[in-house]
A and B are shown apart, each in its own frame.
Chain A
Amino acid sequence: GQQVMQIPQYQHVQEGEDFTTYCNSSTTLSNIQWYKQRPGGHPVFLIQLVKSGEVKKQKRLTFQFGEAKKNSSLHITATQTTDVGTYFCAGPAGAGGTSYGKLTFGQGTILTVHP
C-alpha cells in the first residue's frame, strides 16, 4: 500500500536557526497536506499543495511540492519557541482518498526549539 515517509524523525534547533522536514511518498499524489500538532494537542491543518512544483509561504514557513508530486518539504526560517511541535505531511490514500478524503499520514517530525 501507499507509504508516506518523513525525515528527520526528530530535530533540535536553537531559537533563530532554520528547520526543514522532508516528506516522500511511494506513489504520485494528487495533493499533499501539512499539519502541526502542538505538545498535548491535536493535529491542525496548515496548508494544502496541489500543483507540481508549487511553493507556498505562510510568514516564516515555506512549503514545496515536488515536480513529480511524490515529495514535499516544509522549511521554517528563524525558528521561534512557538514553532515547537510535530509536523506531519499527509497525502490522499488510494481510492478512498480520491472519493472520501482518506489520508495517509507520515510519521511526523518532532521539532524542539531551545531558547
Chain B
Amino acid sequence: DAGVIQSPRHEVTEMGQEVTLRCKPISGHNSLFWYRQTMMRGLELLIYFNNNVPIDDSGMPEDRFSAKMPNASFSTLKIQPSEPRDSAVYFCASKWNWDRSYEQYFGPGTRLTVT
C-alpha cells in the first residue's frame, strides 16, 4: 500500500495567491482528516470527512479556507487568498471508520510558505 499521498510536498507562494493542497487517502479508508501544524499552535484539526461528507469544519480558521472531497480517493484543501500566517505544515490523515482502532494514518505533509 502506498499510504496517504499528499501533493505538493512543498509550496512557496506570495501573499494573496490561491493555494490548493491535495490528498489521496489509503484505499478503503472512509474517514479523512486535514490538520495544520505550527510550532506555536501544535497539531490542529481543521476539518474531517466521513464517506466523502464533511462532518465538522469548526477548526477551519477563516472563510479563506475551504475543503472538498469529491470522491473516496481525493480531497483538496484550498486557501484563497493566502496570507503569511498560513505558513505551516498541512497533514492529511485517513482511517477506516468501522474498526475499534482509532489509528490515523498520516501523509507526509505539505510544507506551505507564504511570503
Contact = CB atoms under 8 A, between A and B. Distances in A.
23 contacts: A41-B108, A42-B106, A43-B43, A43-B93, A43-B104, A45-B103, A45-B104, A48-B101, A48-B102, A50-B100, A93-B45, A96-B56, A99-B50, A100-B48, A100-B50, A100-B55, A100-B97, A101-B97, A101-B102, A102-B33, A102-B55, A103-B45, A103-B104
Contacts, number: 56
Given A43-B91, A93-B45, A100-B50, 17 more contacts: A33-B103, A42-B106, A42-B107, A42-B108, A43-B93, A43-B104, A96-B55, A100-B31, A100-B55, A101-B31, A101-B97, A101-B102, A102-B45, A102-B55, A102-B56, A105-B45, A107-B42
A36 to B, nearest CB: 11
A105 B42 contact: yes
User: Of residues B42, B95, B107, which shows the largest number of chain A Cβ atoms within 10 Å of its Cβ?
Assistant: B42
A71 B48 CA distance: 26
Residue with the greatest number of chain A CB neighbours at <10 A, chosen from B56, B97, B104: B104
Interface of B: 31, 33, 42-43, 45, 48, 50, 55-56, 91, 93, 95, 97, 100-109
Interface in A7-46: 31, 33, 41-45
Contacts of A48: 101-103
Tell me the interface secondary structure of chain A in the complex: mixed
A63 interface: no
Contacts of B33: 102
